[in-house]
Amino acid sequence: MHYVYILQSTVDKKLYVGYTPDLKRRIAAHNTGKAQATRLRKPLQLLYYEAYGDERDARKREKFFKSGWGRNYVKKQLRHTLMSTKI
């Protein structure tokens, strides 16, 4: 399986979108500081993920989530979750 995931920093409340074939390992890497992009924003919590059978589909979805349209989609879909985790 291939996963697209959305994490939220408990420090600055910002979202991070990523892709991985091993979700548990990747989240652990983010929270131990081994992931360069989020090492200064840990700890992070998993808000959302999607699983795909084909890597190309997962990468395409990740790219969408990182676009303006995708960010708006995520904020709309997760609005109650995001509201409950605000500072």
What domains can be seen in the chain, in order of their start residue? Answer: 2-84 (3.40.1440)
How confident is the model at residue 86, as a pLDDT? Answer: 55
Percent of the chain with pLDDT over 90: 76
Residue indicated by tokens 């959305």:
6
Confidence (pTM): 0.89
The DSSP element (H or E) to which 75 belongs, if any, is helix 68-77
pLDDT value at 60 more than 80: yes
CA 12: distance to chain centroid? 14
